[in-house]
Amino acid sequence: MHQWASLAAAAALLANGAVAQFNMLRFACSQLVVDRVDPLVNPGMRYTPHLHQIVGGNSFNLTMTPVEYDLAKRSTCTSCSFKQDKSNYWTAVMFFKHKNGSYHRVPQVGNGGPQGQLINNGGLDVYYIPSGRVTAFAPGFRMLAGEAANTDDSKVPRGNICHRCWTSTNENQFVGGAPCTGSDTVGIPQDPSCKMIRQTIIFPACWDGQNLDTPDHKSHVAYGKGSGATGGGSCPSTHPVKLPQVMYEIMWDVSAFADRSMWPESGPAFIYSMNLGGSAAHGDYLFGWEGDTLQRAMDNGCNLNADCPSAGLTAQKPEEYNACTIQQQAPEPVDGWLASMPMGEMAVRA
Ligand SMILES: *[C@@H]1O[C@H](CO)[C@@H](O)[C@H](O)[C@H]1NC(C)=O
Ligand SMILES: *[C@@H]1O[C@H](CO)[C@@H](O)[C@H](O)[C@H]1NC(C)=O
C-alpha cells in the first residue's frame, strides 16, 4: 500500500536528507459537469474563455463569493469519494485535433498504480499530502496553480505541473516513479504509442496565513523548498503556514486516437481547451470540506480513500459519488466530434 509513499519519501531523502513516511488522502472524483464556467477566475460569467471539467460539491455555481457562499452547507452531494468533501476542483479539458479540422474531447479514466485502483466516471483524482504538522484550509479559501495563457514551457517548474506518457492500456500497470520526476514533461506528449497521458498538477503548500484569496489567486500561497509530491518542503518566511499539499492527477485516455492517419499534418494532436499545450495547464481549487474534517483527517493520519472514523470521514461507494452530477450552466455540445473547440466567437481572453 505504501510503495508510492516510499518513493515520495525517497525523493524527499534526496532533496533534504530526511526520510519521512506519511499517510495521505488519495481519492477519486467523478465528473460533476463539463462546462464553460469558472467562479474563481471569471465569476458570474457564462461561456468563459475555455472549457473546464469540474468535480466535487454540487453547489458549484457561476458565482461563489468567499465565505458567504458556503459550499459545505449548500452542496447536497459530492462527486468525490469522501462524503464530507464538498470542495470544487477543476482543470482545462484535453482535445484531440483531427487532421480534418474536427475536435474530440479526450475521455478521462480512473487511476491505478501501487496504491490501489480508483474508480472514476470521468473527473480526476485528488491527493492531500501532509508533511509534518499542517494547517487545513480556512472556509472560503481558494487558489489557482498554473497559467492558462502561458505558451513557454521553460516558465513552468516541471516538479509542479507535468505529463507522463503511459504506454500501457491498463491503468493498474504503474508506469514510472514519483509524480513529476524521471522523463515527465511540461509539454503534452505527442506520441501515438501513449495509451494514456497522466497529467499532474501540484499546488503550493505554503500560505500567508491571512488571505483566503488574492486578485491573481496565487500571491497568498507559495511553493515550499521541496519539489514534486513530497508535501511541499519548508515554507518561506513570507508564507509561513504549512498547508496540506493538494495534487490533482488526471488520466487522459488517448487510446482511441492512436491511428496516426487521423493526426494533423503539422502541429500538436493533443491540446488543452485554451487551444494551448502543457505550458498552459492549470488547476483551480475551492476549499469546501465540512467543519474541521480535513484538519482532523490530517491530524489523525487518515490514509488513501478509506473510512476514517477518527476524523469523521466516510468513503462513498462509486455508485453514490457517480450519481452526483449537475447540468451545464453554459449549454453547448462537448462530446463527440465537434466542428470547433468550445471557445470561438464567444471567447473572451482571460
Ligand atoms: C446558483 O446561484 C443562483 C443565483 O444566486 C441560485 O439561484 C442557484 O440556486 C444556485 N445554484 C446552486 C446549485 O446552488
Ligand atoms: C473528421 O473525422 C471524424 C472521424 O472520422 C468524423 O466523424 C468527422 O465528421 C470528420 N469531420 C469533418 C469536418 O469531416
User: Closest Cα to atom 4, ligand 2: which residue?
Assistant: 337
User: Closest Cα to atom 9, ligand 2: which residue?
Assistant: 337
Please indicate whether residue 61, judged by its CB atom, sits closer than 6 Å to ligand 1. yes
Confidence grade of residue 175 (pLDDT, cut at 50, 70, 90): confident
Give me ligand 2 centre to Cα 257, in Å.
Answer: 13
Confidence grade of residue 221 (pLDDT, cut at 50, 70, 90): very high
Confidence grade of residue 344 (pLDDT, cut at 50, 70, 90): low
Enter the pTM of the model.
0.93
The residue assigned the cell 516510499 is: 6
The pLDDT, as a whole number, for residue 115 is 81
The CA distances from residue 136 to 47, 239, 325, in Å, are: 32, 14, 26
The pLDDT, as a whole number, for residue 94 is 98
How do residues 58-96 score in pLDDT, each as one tens digit?
A: 999 999 999 999 999 999 999 999 999 999 999 999 999
User: Is the model's pLDDT at 9 over the cut of 90?
Assistant: no
User: Is the model's pLDDT at 18 over the cut of 60?
Assistant: no
Cell numbers linked to 91: 482543470
User: Closest Cα to atom 6, ligand 1: which residue?
Assistant: 61
Give me ligand 1 centre to Cα 61, in Å.
Answer: 6
How do residues 143-157 score in pLDDT, each as one tens digit?
A: 999 999 999 999 999
Please indicate whether residue 336, judged by its CB atom, sits closer than 6 Å to ligand 2. no
Query: With pLDDT > 90 as the criterion, what percentage of the chain qualifies?
Result: 85
Task: Return the closest-CA partner of residue 214 out of 235, 238, 250, 186.
Answer: 238
Start-end of H helices in 276-328 = 293-299, 318-322
Please indicate whether residue 102, judged by its CB atom, sits closer than 6 Å to ligand 2. yes
Rounded to the nearest integer, the mean pLDDT of the chain is: 91
The pLDDT, as a whole number, for residue 15 is 39
Give me ligand 2 centre to Cα 101, in Å.
Answer: 8
- Other C-beta atoms closer than 10 Å to the C-beta of 310 total 11
User: Is the model's pLDDT at 112 over the cut of 90?
Assistant: no
Question: Kindly report the CA angle at 341 between 322 and 326, in degrees rounded to 5?
Answer: 25
Give me ligand 2 centre to Cα 336, in Å.
Answer: 10
Locate the ligand 1 atom nearest the alpha carbon of residue 58 and give its number.
Answer: 13
Give me ligand 1 centre to Cα 314, in Å.
Answer: 27
